[in-house]
Amino acid sequence: MSVRPILTAPDPRLKAVSTDVGAVDDEIRRLIDDMADSMYAADGIGLAAVQIGVPKRVIVMDLDQKSGKKNPRAFVDPKITWASEETATFEEGCLSVPEIWESVDRPARIKCEYLDRDGKVQLLEADGLLATCLQHEMDHLEGVLFIDHISKLKRSMALRKLSKAKRLKETG
């Protein structure tokens, strides 16, 4: 299991539409474990495989990292089968969009079908942070970042800030 670098915007690889996994095998389980290690190392609560440069439809999440207890949950080939009309607003951040936080409206409740790390079909009904985080991660699988949901002006300001930070980091 290893910590892998997390891509940060702007990076064209984050715009890739990730491909279905199909069968969950040992290679996918190793990817899930690397994703979990990378997520914990970055103090995140969710991560999509494309964020470590692997455009496969795999997500890991751990919303309740209380007192150091780790309980990573894997979602392979997740599909939203129902979403409420009612929306909820959360201030979102992203490990791939550092130091940017913006309010985003999303369906408040969703139903999701996915494969777990054993390849077993699971059905989930989610609300609150779980619903928001899962939708945020599933956006990643479509090459969409949370800043794609905010105003054009705020997005261009965020991307300008990210590009400048990247240039400063590269030139030292």
For 96, which DSSP code?
T
* Cis before 5 (ω within 30): no
Task: Report, in angstroms and rounded to the nearest whole number, the Rg of the chain calculated over CA atoms.
Answer: 16
Say if residue 110 is exposed, middle or buried (CB neighbours under 10 Å; 0-12, 13-18, 19+): buried
Q: 106, 54 in Cβ contact below 8 A? A: no
Tell me, residue by residue from 88 to 117, as one string, x for binding to ligand K2U by CB under 6 A and - for no binding. --x-xxxxx---------------------
Stretch of 19-27, 70-78, 91-99, 119-127 lying at the interface with Zn ion (CB under 5 A): 91-99
Q: What is the smallest separation between the CB atom of 15 and ligand K2U, expressed in angstroms?
A: 14
Q: Is 46 in the site for ligand K2U (CB under 6 A)?
A: yes
Q: Is 143 in the site for ligand K2U (CB under 6 A)?
A: no
> Site residues (CB under 6 A) for ligand K2U?
43-47, 90, 92-96, 129, 132-133, 136-137, 140
